[in-house]
Amino acid sequence: MIRLDNISKQNGHQILFIDASMGIMKGEKVGLVGPNGAGKTTLFRMITGKEQPDDGQVAIDAGMTIGYFSQDVGEMSGQSAVAAVMDGVGPVSALASEMAELEAAMVDPDRADELDAIIERYGDVQARFEELDGYALEARAREVLAGLSFSQERMDGDVGLLSGGWKMRVALARILLMRPDGMLLDEPSNHLDLESLIWLEAFLKDYDGALLMTSHDRAFMNRIIGKVVEIDAGSLITYSGDLDFYDQQRALTEAQRQAQYERQQAMLAKEIKFIERFKARASHAAQVQSRVKKLDKIERVEAPRRRQSIQFEFRSPPRSGDDVLNLKNVHKGYGAQPIYSGLDFLVRRKERWCVLGANGAGKSTLLKLVAGATQPDQGTVTVGASVRMGYFAQHSMDLLDGEETIFESLDSSFPQAGQGALRTLAGCFGFSGDDVEKPCRVLSGGEKARLVMAKMLFDPPNLLVLDEPTNHLDMTTKEMLVEALKDFEGTMLFVSHDRHFLAALSNRVLELTPEGIHQYGGGYTEYVARTGQEAPGLHPGG
C-alpha cells in the first residue's frame, strides 16, 4: 500500500531520517509518535509527494488515492461550508454551484428573456449532477459536518466567516467525505469538542483504508490504532499494538539496552585496566597488543537516550473558605438566545467539577460568569471568602507581550523568584536551555499555552477555572499537567474534551443539556458508567 524504503532526509543542519523504513497495508491503522520536531509532518509530506527524500524511495500502490489533513488549512471563502466540503470530491461541487446560480437566474426578472436557455442549461447540469450521485453526496457531506458539530445554519453560511478552528473541521470533513484509499491525519483531534471527537473515533474505526495519524489525545489514539511507528533519532521503529503496549515495549527495550550497555562498560573497564597495568612490561606485550586489537573491533553499545520526564510540584495554595462559588438564580442569554434561566450552582472547597455539554450549551459562558469576564442578566455570582482565582481561557494567550522573551515574561510576573527557580519552572513546562530566550511572538499555540499555565501555577491560586487547558499541549506536557493537578489542594472548575484529563481530575460533573442541568457526584468515569454515554446526548455506539 504505502512503503518507505531506506529514506534519508535532512532539513538545513538537522538530520531527520537516516535509512529509515516502514510500511502500511490496507486496513491498518497506525499512530505516528515522536518528540516535537522529530519529522512527523515531513514524513506526511514525503508520502504525499510534497517533499522528496534525499535518498531512498517512497512507494505507493498505483491508482491509490490519499487524503492529507494538516493544520495548515489555506484560504476558504466565498462558498458555503457544504460546498467547500464537496469541493474535495471534484466536479460535483462545481455543478452544485452552477445549479445554485441558475436557480437564482430563473427567478431574476432582469433575465426573463433568457429563461428558455437558462432552463435548458439547468436540465443539462442537473442531469450530470444526478449521474455523479450529487444529491447523495450532499446528504453525506451534511452528515459528516453534523458529526463534527455543525448546525444547519453554519453548514449553509459562508465558510470565510468561520473561525480558524471551524475551518479546520471543514478541511477534515473534506477528507472524510472523499473516503480515499489512504488517510494521513496530522492532529485531527486538535480543535474538536468531545462530541465531535467521539463521532470521529467511530468514523475512523469503520474506515477500511490505510490510516496514519498523529494526535495528542491518548484515549482517541488508543481506541483507533493497532500499530505504532516511532520516529527515534532518525530511525522508524514499528510496534504492533496501541500506545499502552508501545509504552511497555519501549520501557522493556530501554531497560535491556541499559543492562547491555552497563555490562559492556564493565568489560571495557576491566580490559582497559589490564592494558594500562601491563603496557610497559615487555613480557606482556603480545597479550596487551591482542587486547588492544580486540577493543578496537568491539561494536560499542550506546547508552539509551533518556527521555526527559518533567515533574512539576505545586506549592500549597492558601486555604479558602468552604463555600468557594455560589450562583443563585442566574439568567444569561445572548440576544434572543437564552443560555441559562435560573441556574443554582454551589461549589465547595476541594471539589473538582468538570462541565459537559454540546457546543453552544454554555460551558465557556459559565466559566466567564464565574471569572467575572461576563455579567449575569439576572441573579448573583458570589465568590467565597479567601478565594484566589486563576482563570485560563483561550484568549489568555493573546495577553502575552510579544516582545518579551519567555524568561522575561516569567521574570516580570515573579520579580522576587530568582533566576534558578524560574529556569526550573520553564524546564518543567518544556522550555529547556536556550528556549527561554525565544520572544513570545514566535511561540506556537502549544508553547503559549504552556507559558500561561506556568505563570498561573507557579504561585497557585486556590480556585482554578480552566477552559480547554489541554487544547495545544503535547502528550508529555499533558501528562505532567495531569500528574501535577492530581496533587493540587485547591478547588477546580473546568471544561476539557480530553477524556484522560476528565477521568483523572474530576470528582463532580455538571451536565448541560437542552432538557435541563444535571449535577452528578463522582467524577467523569462514574458519569460514563452511570449514564452509558461519554458525552451528553450521545449514546453508546451512536
pLDDT at 280: 82
Mean pLDDT to the nearest integer, 197-222: 94
170-190 mean pLDDT? 92
The three cell numbers locating residue 514 = 437542552
Lowest mean pLDDT across 15-29, 46-60, 153-167: 153-167
Q: Are 28 and 211 in contact (CB under 8 A)?
A: yes
Q: What is the pLDDT of residue 235?
A: 92
Instruction: Check residue 476 and report its DSSP letter.
Output: H
Tell me the H-state helices in 38-114. Answer: 40-48, 81-87, 91-106
pLDDT at 310: 60
Per-residue model confidence (pLDDT) at position 538: 65
Residue partners of 203: CB distance under 8 A and separation at least 6:
144, 147, 176
pLDDT at res. 484: 86
Let me know: does 9 contact 16? Beta carbons within 8 Å: yes
> What is the average pLDDT across 296-303?
84
**Given the C-alpha cell 473561525, which residue does it identify?**
163
Cβ-contact 64, 181 below 8 angstroms? yes
Find the mean pLDDT for residues 402-408: 93
Does the pLDDT value for residue 540 go beyond 50?
no
Q: From the CB of residue 47, how many other CB atoms can be counted at a distance below 10 Å?
A: 20
Percentage of the chain exceeding pLDDT 90: 57
Q: What does the pLDDT read at residue 309?
A: 58
The helix/strand count (H/E) of the chain reads as 18, 18
Confidence bin at 368 (pLDDT 50/70/90): very high
542 pLDDT more than 60? no
Mean pLDDT of the chain: 89
More confident residue, 283 or 421: 421
Region 233-259 average pLDDT: 90
Which SS3 state, helix, strand or coil, does residue 329 take? strand
Reduced to 3 states (helix: H, G, I; strand: E, B; else coil), residue 287 is helix
The identity of residue 484, as a single letter, is: A
- CA distance linking residue 477 with residue 473, whole number of Å: 6
Burial degree of 526 (CB within 10 A; 0-12, 13-18, 19+): middle
Distance CA 339, CA 321 (A): 29
Report whether pLDDT(304) > 80: no
Least confident residue range of 36-40, 87-91, 262-266, 329-333: 87-91
In whole angstroms, give the CA distance from residue 364 to residue 467. 7
In which band, very low, low, confident or very high, does the pLDDT at 433 lie, cut at 50, 70 and 90?
A: confident
Residue 500 pLDDT greater than 80, yes or no: yes
C-beta of residue 360 within 8 angstroms of C-beta of residue 312: no
| Section 120-140 average pLDDT | 89
State the pLDDT at residue 121. Answer: 93
Angle at 394 between CA 34 and CA 404, to 5 degrees: 80
Place of cell 517512497: 58
- Mean pLDDT across 211-215: 95
Higher pLDDT, 537 or 535: 535
Q: Which three cell numbers stand for residue 31?
A: 499512530
pLDDT higher at 359 or 200: 200
Residue 308 has a pLDDT of 58
Residue 307 banded pLDDT, cuts 50, 70, 90: low
Q: What mean pLDDT do residues 494-517 have?
A: 94
For the chain, the distance separating the N- and C-terminal CA atoms, rounded to the nearest angstrom, is: 31
pLDDT at residue 379 in the model = 96
